[in-house]
Amino acid sequence: MTQHNRIAHFFLRTSYGRALLVLLGLVAVAAVGWWHWGDKRMVRMLEEAPWSGQCQHNLTGAVLDRSLELGTQFMLAHQKPEGNFDYEYDWRERTQSRGDNQVRQVGALWGLTLIYQERPSKELRAAIEKGLGYFAENSRLSPSGGRCIVYPGDNKGATGTVALMALSLIDYLRALERHQPGAQTEALKATLAEYLKQLVGGVDRLGLWFGSYRNDDCSPFGAHSPYSDGEALLALVKAAKYLGHRELQATIRRTADAGHLRNIERALRKDRDSDTTKGYYQWSSMAFFELATSGWPNTDHYGEYVLKLANWMIDVHRTLARTRNTAYAYEGIIHAYELARRRNDSALVRKLACVIDIGLEHLISWQVGGPLATARTSGPGSEDRLARGGIQNSAREPGLRIDVTQHQMHATVLARRYVYRD
């Protein structure tokens, strides 16, 4: 009996062989099903070596452009006539959620300004102006001249709301300088100065931010949050770096150092996979990147923070293995990629490029009707104008939350700018 016949006899004639054959068949069916339903990420992690910088590069500029186009359409479709946004849309049931969140609302507006920087259009500009008008109507001045937002239905304000409002104004003003030279921006700059004053006044004795403020007089109070610590820091850094608010530099250095100490160093000593560090991660990475590339003296060490945080996000927090949407992680990782590229750290560039490619390919498959849509994000209902382009928060959740889409569109903008350049 030949070797080939002996192997065939083993599989077909023995119970052990038949069982093994069935098992192999089930594994093959599972692998095909897994691929069909969209989790190519796990297959790629097994077949490739992203942590060593060895991988295929599947994403293209065309895929990112199409995803961004659809995500922008989704966000515009969910802006209400008043100027704020639908919070969450269940695309299977075709129903709107009754929930809301003031920080995520302003974050959606900030997301539109970031897209407008890259892809200006009359429609986007009109949406931004409408959003700015809505939040202006729902804001007030403090006795000291700061400005805070009083979001309808909420009995207190969140520091992150003011920070993201400041970021919206900063990045819209930057876009106007680029795309609409000569535009009248004095009123926007004056309003921004009021929000910045509110943020500076909200720093506590430790160099962190009070997490909340009272609606009646904008006075800050409450425990700090790693999210708003990072959001507020990013707003101050960008205002100083791009719009000339150099008076903020002392506050920036104090809060950057305090935030790093409390939200990263001490947090990781307590828990190597700290939720506090995860909350601070992308906001501080973006802020530290801006500091490291500012040209200001004694800021190189902030770049080291960005690179160390990216390795932590990948190696300890294990962003590629997470089961919920992790677009926030790529807002930080892509900035680390650009810093590593500028520093000619080729090994780290390769590692980050692989993680970005695998991670974003996976997340784009969660976009309803998107360029990489799977069986879970296509089919009946995916052509609904209120669904198409929205991003699921996990493979099986049909809820399309406005902030999930906003963060992923920002990550897409950054990937196109720094990684997938034509």
Per-residue pLDDT of the chain (422 residues; tens, 9 = 90+): 555 555 555 445 566 555 554 455 444 434 444 444 557 888 898 889 888 999 999 999 999 999 999 999 999 999 999 999 999 999 999 999 999 999 999 999 999 999 999 999 999 999 999 999 999 999 999 999 999 999 999 999 999 999 999 999 999 999 999 999 988 999 999 999 999 999 999 999 999 999 999 999 999 999 999 999 999 999 999 999 999 999 999 999 999 999 999 999 999 999 999 999 999 999 999 999 999 999 999 999 999 999 999 999 999 999 999 999 999 999 999 999 999 999 999 999 999 999 999 999 999 999 999 999 999 999 999 999 999 999 999 999 999 999 999 999 999 999 999 999 98
Phi and psi torsions of 204, nearest 5°: -90, -175
Which H, E and C letters describe 328-396, residue by residue?
Answer: HHHHHHHHHHHHHHHCCCHHHHHHHHHHHHHHHHHHHCCECCCCCCCCCCCCCCCCCCCCCCCEECECC
- Concatenated DSSP letters of 307-335: HHHHHHHHHTS-GGG-SB--HHHHHHHHH
Tokens 């920070």 — which residue?
A: 163
Residue 206: phi and psi, rounded to 5, are: -85, -10
pLDDT of residue 16: 58
Q: At what angle do helices 402-414 and 346-364 cross, to 10 degrees?
A: 140
C-alpha–C-alpha distance, residues 405 and 384, integer Å: 16
Distance CA 110, CA 117 (A): 11
Torsion of CA 311, 316, 321, 325, to 10 degrees: -70
Spatial separation of the C-alpha atoms in residues 156 and 238, rounded to whole Å: 26
Task: Give the pLDDT confidence score for residue 4 in this predicted structure.
Answer: 55
Token pair of 102, please? 């003031």
pLDDT at 9: 54
Cα gap 339→352, rounded to integer Å: 11
Do residues 395 and 323 touch, judged by C-beta distance below 8 A?
A: yes
Q: For residues 178 and 185, give the distance between their C-alpha atoms in angstroms, rounded to a whole number.
A: 13
> In 3D, which of 220, 245, 249, 241 has the Cα closest to residue 286?
241
Q: Which residues touch 402 (CB under 8 Å, ≥6 apart)?
A: 75, 78, 85, 86, 87, 88, 104, 105, 108
Query: Which residues are CB-contacts of 358 (< 8 A; sequence separation ≥ 6)?
Result: 41, 44, 45, 48, 50, 55, 320
* Local structure of 213: helix, strand or coil: strand
Q: How are beta strands 147-149 and 139-141 bridged, if at all?
A: antiparallel
CB atoms within 10 A of CB 341: 16
Q: What angle is formed at CA 201 by the lines to CA 297 and CA 186, rounded to 5 degrees?
A: 75
- Euclidean distance between CA atoms 216 and 157, whole angstroms: 10
Cβ burial of 378 (10 Å; 0-12, 13-18, 19+) is middle
* Number of Cβ atoms within 10 Å of the Cβ of 400: 27
Measured CA distances, 299 to 287, 291, 306 (Å): 11, 6, 12
Structural domains for the chain: 38-419 (1.50.10.20)
| CA–CA dist 281, 312 (Å, integer) | 10
Q: Which of 416, 405, 352 is nearest to 104 (CA)?
A: 405
H or E stretch including 141?
Answer: strand 139-141
Partners of 391 in the beta sheet?
367
Q: How far apart are CA 342 and CA 349, in angstroms?
A: 10
